């Protein structure tokens, strides 16, 4: 069983420049330059295993996209995406990158918890210690979410059919913050929403 505890405090999020919400994601001030009119917001989710930036018919390796950071990418460069949507890239079972569409964000005054499953087994997000389900069963290569009021809680990720956690996290979040629980190949990480470079079609 993989078991990791991470503490993400509101103070850290407030001072690290991490922002959230759909309107904030589309704010060109986050990127230092204007974002494409057809922008989608894409991040490469990485734990201990790096992901190649060459995928989906385009080589992103020269774009200096940090791991776990949304890049504003022209939709022209990606297959089957919706303008303004949020996506995570995870390593698929075949060893190739997969583009996972994230649920739409709603009320920016809420805390948006997102569960991205890049593992081989469906998982849920629960209150730790055998508590209630927070995010329902999420299949491989899918993402689910839940908007909640500001919360401080112990949360855990569980595989389908098991009461044993594969990871546990202590979280303390403020309004308008998003947090992703990412199940990757052999790793489970907690990822605050952060924004980085712009990638335009030439």
Long-range contacts of 47-54 (CB under 8 A, 24+ apart): 47/182, 47/184, 47/185, 47/186, 47/187, 47/188, 47/189, 48/186, 48/187, 49/91, 49/184, 49/185, 49/186, 49/187, 51/89, 51/90, 51/91, 51/97, 52/97
On the question of pLDDT at 177 being above 80, the answer is no
From CA 6, how far away is CA 89, in angstroms rounded?
22
Q: Which structural domain range is residue 12 located in?
A: 7-199
| Position 95 confidence tier, pLDDT thresholds 50, 70, 90 | confident
pLDDT digits (tens, 9 = 90+) for 26-42: 555 566 678 999 999 99
| Position 107 confidence tier, pLDDT thresholds 50, 70, 90 | confident
Instruction: Determine contact, residues 102/84, Cβ cutoff 8 Å.
Output: no
Residue 128 lies in a domain: yes
pTM for the full model? 0.85
Running DSSP on this structure, what letter comes out for residue 167?
E
Residue 2 lies in a domain: no
Residue 1 lies in a domain: no
From CA 123, how far away is CA 103, in angstroms rounded?
16
The fraction of the chain above a pLDDT of 70, given in percent, is 84
Number of compact structural domains in the chain: 1
On the question of pLDDT at 172 being above 50, the answer is yes
Separation in Å, CA 125 to CA 170, 186, 190: 13, 17, 12
Residue 156 lies in a domain: yes
Residue 41 lies in a domain: yes
Domain of 62, CATH number, reads 2.60.40.1120
| Position 20 confidence tier, pLDDT thresholds 50, 70, 90 | very low
On the question of pLDDT at 82 being above 60, the answer is yes
Per-residue pLDDT averaged across 100-105, rounded? 94
Between residues 173 and 103, which one has the greater pLDDT?
A: 103
What residues form DSSP beta bridges with 115?
Answer: 144, 181
């Amino acid at each position: 069983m993989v078991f990791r505890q991470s503490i993400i405090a509101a103070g850290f999020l407030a001072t690290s420049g991490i922002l959230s919400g759909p309107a904030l994601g589309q704010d060109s001030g986050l990127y230092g330059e204007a974002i494409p009119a057809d922008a989608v917001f894409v991040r490469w989710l990485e734990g201990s295993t790096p992901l190649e930036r060459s995928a989906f018919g385009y080589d992103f390796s020269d774009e200096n996209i940090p791991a776990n950071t949304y890049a504003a990418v022209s939709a022209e460069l990606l297959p089957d995406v919706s303008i303004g949507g949020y996506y995570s890239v995870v390593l698929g079972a075949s060893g190739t990158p997969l583009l996972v569409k994230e649920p739409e964000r709603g009320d920016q005054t809420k805390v948006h918890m997102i569960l991205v499953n890049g593992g081989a087994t469906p998982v849920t997000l629960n209150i730790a210690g055998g508590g209630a389900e927070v995010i329902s069963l999420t299949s491989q290569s899918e993402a689910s979410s839940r908007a909640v009021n500001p919360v401080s809680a112990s949360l855990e990720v569980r595989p389908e059919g098991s009461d044993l956690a594969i990871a546990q996290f202590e979280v303390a979040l403020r309004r308008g913050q998003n947090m992703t629980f990412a199940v990757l190949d052999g790793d489970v990480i907690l990822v605050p929403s952060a924004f980085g470079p712009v990638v335009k079609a030439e």
